[in-house]
Amino acid sequence: MKDLYVSWDEYNRLVEKLALKVYDSGWQFDAIVCLARGGLRIGDVFSRLFDKPLGVLFTSSYREESGTKQSKLIIGDALASASPLPGPNWLLVDDLVDSGATLVEVLPAMQARYNQLKQMKSAVIWRKGASVAEPDFYLEHLPTNPWIHQPFEEYDNIGPSALRARYGK
């Protein structure tokens, strides 16, 4: 199982390709929900490209061992958005499905919380082989379950003082 390293340029291209995959499917949705934190950037880009309102749902499962060990999933109590999300069809976006546990739990939780929601499809960049869930849209299937090093993870290991040192006064 070799690690996968993703640059900013590659990450941005993958988000765009995922958007095209959803677009080419012809599926019409009314709003986008991104899972924070991994889906935040994807949600932002999709909201702009598709001109749809964006909601953010906070979830957390990678809290132990500096974020490298999955534990019990916590789903935030509220969906954050500027106004209630419209329509019955929503697209859920995230960066990846690892074990699939988040997708398995979030989809029914959203349906239970929002009566107007009739259909929610999911879109991710990566689907790992160990996942028990299959997203509706994904770009890459990773059967060997590599650890994915995404470009924004560099901020997990530096603070403002290290950033200051990088740029000087």
Residue 94 belongs to domain with CATH number: 3.40.50.2020
Could you tell me how far CA 127 lies from the centroid of its own chain? 11
For position 70, what pLDDT does the model report?
A: 58
A 10 A CB-CB count for 39 gives 25
Which pLDDT value is given to residue 68? 53
Structure confidence at residue 63 (pLDDT): 46
Domain ranges, residue 99: 4-167
Please calculate the CA angle 78-29-103 and round it to the nearest 5 degrees.
Answer: 50
> How many domains does one find in the chain?
1
Percent of the chain with pLDDT over 70: 93
- Tokens at residue 167, please? 């740029």
Task: Give residue 55's identity as a one-letter amino acid code.
Answer: G
Please check whether residue 75 is in contact with residue 106, taking contact to mean a CB–CB distance below 8 angstroms: yes
pTM of the complete model: 0.90
**Amino acid at site 93:** V
Splitting the chain (169 residues) into consecutive groups of 10 residues, what average pLDDT does each group show?
A: 94 98 98 96 98 95 53 88 96 96 93 95 98 97 96 91 89
Reading the block at residue 57, the tokens are 């749902």
Residue 168 pLDDT: 86
